[in-house]
Structure 1
Amino acid sequence: MSTSPTSHLEQSSKLAEELATPDKPPFDPHGSAPAKTRAALRKVVLDFPASSEGFTGRQATANVKESLKWGTKIVGGVKPGVEGEHLGLPVFPSVKVAQEMAKPDASAIYVPGNQTAKAIEEAIEAEIPLVVAVAEHVPIHDILRIHSMLQTQSKTRLVGANCPGIISAIGKCRIGFQPLPCFAPGKVGIVAKSGTLSYETVASTTRAGLGQSLCISMGGDVLAGTNFVDALKIFEHDDDTQGIILVGEIGGTAEMDAAEWIRDYRRRTASPKPIMALVGGLEAPPGRIMGHAGAWAAPGEPDAQTKYQALERAGAVMVNHPEKFGEGMRTLLGGTSRPGANTFSGAGSQKRGFHTMRRVNPAQRTVQQKRGLYIKQFQAFDILKEKSVRVNESASKSDASISISVDRTALSPCIVASPTTEFDASQSRRFPFSYSQSSFDQSPLIAEVASHMGVPVSAQAELSALVQELWNIFKEKEAFVLETQIGMSADGSLEVHGARFGFDDAAYRSSGRQEEIHQLRNTAEEAPEEVEAEKDGIVYVKLEGEGSIGTLVNGAGLAMNTVDALTFHGGHCANFLDTGGKATSETVKSSFRIICSDPRVKAVFVNIFGGLTRCDMIAEGIILAFRDLNMQVPVVVRLRGTNEELGQKMIAESGLPLHAFDGFEDAAKKIISLAQ
């Protein structure tokens, strides 16, 4: 049981009740209390895989011990087909049995990506109010199916997948795997897509003496169960939350939805709570997946710059690095600046890092994405021909564009239609439909699509047939986007002139499905550094231009923000590199080797937040790698988080040309000067 005051436990319970009830109106703290509060942050069951590890494994045991010590009321663990006891807690053979025996209010799902959907489905069937899924690499179509189930019920809310979970610093409850030393009970509510950026944000507010009330991870998945607006509604009505921080990134429209909510909130509220925000990926190259499964823009979706501007116009105070949140929020809460105003100079505008990206026609893009496979246009044409779709490979002019993709707001597949040959956000329109839909024949949706695209009534039957075949391909082969450019032939028939098809990497890597599609990949045509990095579980993107700074970062969101922030300060980065959230000495060594294979690199910037990984272990890996690889370029190391002082000391006393910092500003200035 938590050691926190009863009032804080009750408040955390009410917050969790709001999270757990999808269709429930925002909780009113001044209204009458419900007859029976579910207290979802006080009764948690942990769901582990049916492996030899499971609930009793080393990592699971460490997590349970930490969570219990923190104050989480864990009622047991699930290990399929197994009954018993571990750490004084019961082991249940299924979620259904756990629900019958212990009545948990939340289920934390720690199973691998290929088993996550089945575990969520079991929790939905058991009517667990709050389900937190942490796994990466959950196949997109598995989650589409789960959301189609969630939309038919009102008992269960999902947080995640691909997220560290949620944590109440006041109620002392952790559902996930967040680094607990960073957290402190306080007054700031945080919602973030990125795990590492959320840890940086938490640490910044802790250092500023503000602490946190509730931290919700939206997660980096394509289809997040709980989004920014869901979290903002909770923070609005939470008495313990005095300031709000939102951490977004490229991909989807959640930040645009949040901006609209913030604008409405400030208009209808006499004294709105101050809101600060950051958007990662301002410098991300178009057409790439930047580490996170969901860090890519589908046809018609806004880029990071558009999201930044929308949040700023709505009244959020923007920063270019998460370490600025703490002092910035303290200033706003201290009354030196009108809450929510955009006049706070200490935050540091991101505008200087903006650049205009040329929109490329779908058929002309050739970049290779990671965590997803784009096939060649001729291969896409072959698939269309197999479905008897009319294709004109020599057409010089197209009239419009149509795509099947994923609507991240509707949490469903959608048609994206544009009356132009580019999926410009201002002219594109999204038409969501159910994942269970089988036929578009006689569907009123086709008439709406045709009207928006300017397709004549005489060609609507052909348009319907094209959409039907695209949907069949999308579902059968587990695509995440199918883009086509279309036009009219000389005889007035509809035909496809250009195609760009992307297929879900997770379906193949974590679940072994769609091997035939993924055998179409030709690694010989890809950047060799990126292919080499992939073998070691590292996500590496070689950036174009005269970049002279190599970057080595743990976590996709933090890696994107590192490139953004260095560019803001006048630096030129040669790469994006995400070692993964659990960097080791071996991955650090491999990362250095790959970075230094680029002759443009004149200096390397290591930006590590030691959340789940200790800074002293990272420091040891850096020192060993520097010596083993006979490094000839200077290295600047910024270490924050667990054991940061010890890690910095090890770097400083190594006798190597390594420069240790804890603050980002000083580290950025140093690496830029060295790279010049």
Structure 2
Amino acid sequence: MLPCARAPTMSSLILRRWIPVSTFSPSKTSFSSAAARASYYERTIEHLKIGRHTRVIFQGFTGRQATANAKESIEWGTRIVGGVTPGRDGEHLGLPVLPSVRAAKDHLKPDATGIYVAAHQAAAAIEEAIEAEIPLIVAVAEHIPLHDILRIHSMLNTQGKSRLVGANAPGIISAIGRCRIGFQPLPTFAPGHVGIVAKSGTLSYETVASVTRAGLGQSLCIGMGGDVVAGTNFVDALKVFEHDSDTEGIILVGEIGGRAEEEAAEWIKEYKRRSSNPKPIAALVGGILAPPGRVMGHAGAWVGPGENSAEKKYRILQDAGAVMVDHPSHFGQVMKDLLAKSGRNVQKIQNSASASAASGSQRRSYHTSARRPRPTPASRLGATPFQKRGLHLNSAQAADLLSQHGITVGAEPLSTAEPSRLISLTIDRSARSPSFYISPSTHPKDMHARARHIPFSYNTGPTQETLDTVLQHTQLSAAPADAVSAVVQLLRSLWSLYTTHEAITLSTHVSLAPSTKQGAGSSPIQVTSPSLSFDDAAFRSCKRHADLHALRDTSPSAIDAAELAAERHGIVYIKLPGANNAGTNQTHSIGTLVNGAGLAMNTVDALSLPSAGTSGSSGSHVAANFLDTGGKATSETVARSFELLLGDPRVAVIFVNIFGGLTLCDMIARGVLLAFEELGLEERGVPVVVRLRGTREKEGQAVIAQSGKRVWAFDGFDEAVAKCKELARERSGGTVGDERHC
């Protein structure tokens, strides 16, 4: 068994053999000139073109999940040639098992490896694959500690042999080439000509199913993944799709967090300028109604310092020329229309495999969001300056921890004569590295407008060039020598704390101390307003920093009791604001139960859009909550989810929206019936609308249809939403119909 990866010391990082000295000189290089190094990794984009030729190995090959996945993939046509299990040498599934990736590389000549090990083992497995120079590395595990991933990217940035997809991604799949490296639901896919790249697994499955039902099929589908830092991003995928002769149309599925969507928009604008007949591009961005300050299921689904909201990303992509949709079930018809308008032969693009694989199309017409009013975004309902995720210390705890690293926190200065600067140590997701996020102002009106990221290598930490840039941008380089020295020491201390405790964001305000306050032993700078957050995956996956994470405040004033209870069952539950949005007459009455963070975000967004049956004096009934059961939900998880929803007195209707990948639809259906029995739903009179698509959907629908319970079952999302709102209006008026739809 691989050990739990541990963040090494800086000196050990520099001595690791994977750093090519000829191309990376720590003494001379600052990450501010990272383009030269990044170009090495960019050379590996070509490895994303998988197909029948791709020789695949599995790491963790003999494990239960890997075995089941390998059987499915081999039957589908994937060319799996063997695998790796540390300490073993023999056969499994009639294929060779090697004790190391290096041995597998020598004997099996793989083009790609799928890493099927738990989060606490995944980082070491990825490092082993990089050191063996495997061309494509696919990591599906979620909850890999952030600093382990940062260390991995410091390796990737200095080489040009290996490309990473993931982590926390469904993987990559070529429907044309019958090559799957991941856990995508195979019945949903059909060979075709639409390329898809997505952050969310469940949203990608919905997208694939829609494209399949439209008869278009897929060429290549790349799961970018929902982690803070992704091995492959939207632009990487777009570069592949542009030159792929099998790809005629492109779909991009984004969400809150990072700048990947904005970078994709910049690429799209340039692509449309240089191409005489560009391939049509459609897109979606989930999380428009994500409440500020919350992590929406995925580790990376939070708005960091200086990052734009989902609503802003949506408009940036739209302005770049992408056609935006409000729900992935609409992508198929949208893309069919776009292909026809582009002059491409849609009839030729449609293939019989797609048509025969379709299990029935959506009965309602599609709607692009250009035709439908957008919901009121969370960004307009009051935003916080920094998103919180993982462990967030209160001000007293933060001051105490900073003092242990030689940083004294003072009270807020009474005088505003001396300007205060923002100095934050966080992540630059685009550079795939740590970064100082700094501004010469802390005034709410212009702090972020004047701020910039100063990324640097995780290997070396901030170089002198990095420190000088920070001083210049914060307008402190001309300060007295003792103040400059104190700021430099602050930056170094923050970096030490950042790596020692595996932080996500360390933020402070810094100002020069008034001359009247200076004296013997006093500091020439004042540090105030500390805000510190740390990676909970380091503790949950690897049990690191237990003493720090024991400081978490779980009192009712710090975290909602229902949300804390949800955590114990592996559920991410966030109660949405109860007050009606100004001027919208919205009632938060629909409880949502969804598998997958991206799909849960989009469900909340889509419920806030007008649809059939929403008119009337009672106003619009919208989502009361975000609830992600996770990708491996059980019947018990579903029952506990119902319990959470029923604990909110606002909930008049429950909407179960499932697209099965790892999650089995029949298992979800049994969980719904378990909730009926345990929680007395019939007696409570709370109607349930269920939409089951994906893995074992027919079996799940049959379980619901034969139950005799008060459940309405639908294939289509629009129909299900319309029924939810109809039932919510009837309940608000005191009546609910007895009709059942299955």
- Write out per-residue CA displacement over residues 60-107 of structure 1, whole angstroms, 9 at most, x where no aligned residue: 222111110111111101100001111110111110110111111111
CA shift in 2, pair 1:471/1:332, >3 Å = same
2:403 aligned with 1:353: no
What does residue 32 of structure 2 align with? none
CA shift in 2, pair 1:544/1:424, >3 Å = farther
2:440–2:447 CA contact under 8 A, matched in 1 = no
* Alignment match of 2:527 (pick from 493, 496, 499): 496
* Alignment match of 2:595 (pick from 554, 560, 576): 554
CA shift in 2, pair 1:201/1:360, >3 Å = closer
For residues 653 and 447 of structure 2, the distance between their equivalents in structure 1, rounded to whole angstroms, comes to 38
Question: Displacement, 1:600?
Answer: 1.6
What does residue 406 of structure 1 align with? 427
For residues 276 and 357 of structure 1, the distance between their equivalents in structure 2, rounded to whole angstroms, comes to 26
Question: Displacement, 1:656?
Answer: 2.0
* Alignment match of 2:283 (pick from 277, 284, 289): 277
* Alignment match of 1:61 (pick from 64, 67, 88): 67
2:638 aligned with 1:617: no
> After superposition, where does 1:456-475 map in structure 2 within 5 Å?
457-458=478-479, 459-475=483-499
* Alignment match of 1:417 (pick from 432, 438, 455): 438
> After superposition, where does 1:380-395 map in structure 2 within 5 Å?
380-395=398-413
CA shift in 2, pair 1:25/1:437, >3 Å = closer
1:418–1:429 CA contact under 8 A, matched in 2 = yes
SS in structure 2 of the partner of residue 352 of structure 1: coil
- Write out per-residue CA displacement over residues 164-197 of structure 1, whole angstroms, 9 at most, x where no aligned residue: 1100000000011111000000000000000000
CA shift in 2, pair 1:426/1:388, >3 Å = same
For residues 80 and 343 of structure 2, the distance between their equivalents in structure 1, rounded to whole angstroms, comes to 42
SS in structure 1 of the partner of residue 435 of structure 2: strand
SS in structure 2 of the partner of residue 549 of structure 1: strand
What does residue 24 of structure 1 align with? 43
What does residue 650 of structure 2 align with? 600
Partner amino acid for 1:451? Q
2:567 aligned with 1:518: no
SS in structure 2 of the partner of residue 23 of structure 1: helix
For residues 715 and 567 of structure 2, the distance between their equivalents in structure 1, rounded to whole angstroms, comes to 29
- Write out per-residue CA displacement over residues 491-546 of structure 1, whole angstroms, 9 at most, x where no aligned residue: 37321220111100110000110111101002123111111111111111111124
What does residue 454 of structure 1 align with? 475
1:401–1:486 CA contact under 8 A, matched in 2 = yes
CA shift in 2, pair 1:562/1:38, >3 Å = closer
1:148–1:434 CA contact under 8 A, matched in 2 = yes
What does residue 533 of structure 1 align with? 566
CA shift in 2, pair 1:461/1:360, >3 Å = farther
What does residue 12 of structure 2 align with? none
CA shift in 2, pair 1:345/1:104, >3 Å = closer
* Alignment match of 1:317 (pick from 317, 323, 348): 323
CA shift in 2, pair 1:296/1:337, >3 Å = farther
Partner amino acid for 1:417? I
2:50–2:174 CA contact under 8 A, matched in 1 = no
SS in structure 1 of the partner of residue 374 of structure 2: helix
* Alignment match of 1:189 (pick from 185, 195, 199): 195
CA shift in 2, pair 1:338/1:299, >3 Å = farther
SS in structure 1 of the partner of residue 532 of structure 2: strand
Question: Displacement, 1:486?
Answer: 2.4
Question: Displacement, 1:617?
Answer: 2.2
* Alignment match of 1:662 (pick from 700, 708, 715): 715
For residues 378 and 299 of structure 1, the distance between their equivalents in structure 2, rounded to whole angstroms, comes to 22
- Write out per-residue CA displacement over residues 339-391 of structure 1, whole angstroms, 9 at most, x where no aligned residue: 9xxxx9832347511434366565xx7x964xx11111111111112222232
For residues 159 and 63 of structure 2, the distance between their equivalents in structure 1, rounded to whole angstroms, comes to 34
Question: Displacement, 1:430?
Answer: 0.3
1:41–1:106 CA contact under 8 A, matched in 2 = no
Whose radius of gyration is greater, 1 or 2?
A: 2
1:305–1:354 CA contact under 8 A, matched in 2 = no
TM-score (ref. length: structure 1): 0.89
Partner amino acid for 1:535? R
1:446–1:463 CA contact under 8 A, matched in 2 = no
2:170 aligned with 1:158: no
What does residue 379 of structure 1 align with? 397
For residues 360 and 308 of structure 1, the distance between their equivalents in structure 2, rounded to whole angstroms, comes to 18
- Write out per-residue CA displacement over residues 542-574 of structure 1, whole angstroms, 9 at most, x where no aligned residue: 111242211100000000000011012343222
* Alignment match of 1:629 (pick from 656, 665, 679): 679
SS in structure 2 of the partner of residue 623 of structure 1: helix
What does residue 575 of structure 2 align with? 542
For residues 130 and 702 of structure 2, the distance between their equivalents in structure 1, rounded to whole angstroms, comes to 49
2:654 aligned with 1:642: no
Partner amino acid for 2:426? S
Partner amino acid for 2:438? A
Question: Displacement, 1:27?
Answer: 6.7
Count how many residue pairs are aligned between Structure 1 and Structure 2: 632
SS in structure 2 of the partner of residue 213 of structure 1: strand
2:221 aligned with 1:215: yes
Could you tell me the percent identity over the aligned residues?
56
SS in structure 2 of the partner of residue 457 of structure 1: coil
2:51 aligned with 1:42: no
Question: Displacement, 1:646?
Answer: 3.6
CA shift in 2, pair 1:97/1:338, >3 Å = closer
For residues 360 and 399 of structure 1, the distance between their equivalents in structure 2, rounded to whole angstroms, comes to 21
1:603–1:675 CA contact under 8 A, matched in 2 = yes
What does residue 34 of structure 1 align with? none
1:550–1:595 CA contact under 8 A, matched in 2 = yes
What does residue 184 of structure 2 align with? 178
Partner amino acid for 2:493? E
For residues 476 and 462 of structure 1, the distance between their equivalents in structure 2, rounded to whole angstroms, comes to 21
2:399–2:408 CA contact under 8 A, matched in 1 = no
SS in structure 2 of the partner of residue 132 of structure 1: strand
Question: Displacement, 1:426?
Answer: 2.9
For residues 426 and 649 of structure 1, the distance between their equivalents in structure 2, rounded to whole angstroms, comes to 55
1:21–1:129 CA contact under 8 A, matched in 2 = no
For residues 172 and 252 of structure 2, the distance between their equivalents in structure 1, rounded to whole angstroms, comes to 14
CA shift in 2, pair 1:425/1:240, >3 Å = farther
Partner amino acid for 1:583? A
Partner amino acid for 1:47? Q
SS in structure 1 of the partner of residue 543 of structure 2: coil
Question: Displacement, 1:595?
Answer: 1.1
For residues 519 and 478 of structure 1, the distance between their equivalents in structure 2, rounded to whole angstroms, comes to 15
What does residue 451 of structure 2 align with? 428
For residues 72 and 50 of structure 2, the distance between their equivalents in structure 1, rounded to whole angstroms, comes to 24
Question: Displacement, 1:395?
Answer: 3.3
Q: Please provide the CA RMSD for this pair.
A: 2.4
2:313 aligned with 1:290: no
For residues 368 and 240 of structure 1, the distance between their equivalents in structure 2, rounded to whole angstroms, comes to 42
CA shift in 2, pair 1:21/1:432, >3 Å = closer
CA shift in 2, pair 1:476/1:263, >3 Å = same
2:566–2:644 CA contact under 8 A, matched in 1 = yes
2:93 aligned with 1:87: yes
Partner amino acid for 2:272? R
For residues 420 and 87 of structure 1, the distance between their equivalents in structure 2, rounded to whole angstroms, comes to 62
What does residue 51 of structure 1 align with? none
- Write out per-residue CA displacement over residues 415-454 of structure 1, whole angstroms, 9 at most, x where no aligned residue: 00123324854322000001122465xx232332233223
* Alignment match of 2:608 (pick from 543, 546, 567): 567
What does residue 137 of structure 1 align with? 143
Structure 2 residue ranges without an equivalent (≥5): 1-38, 346-364, 519-523, 580-587, 611-619, 730-742
Structure 1 residue ranges without an equivalent (≥5): 1-19, 29-36, 49-54
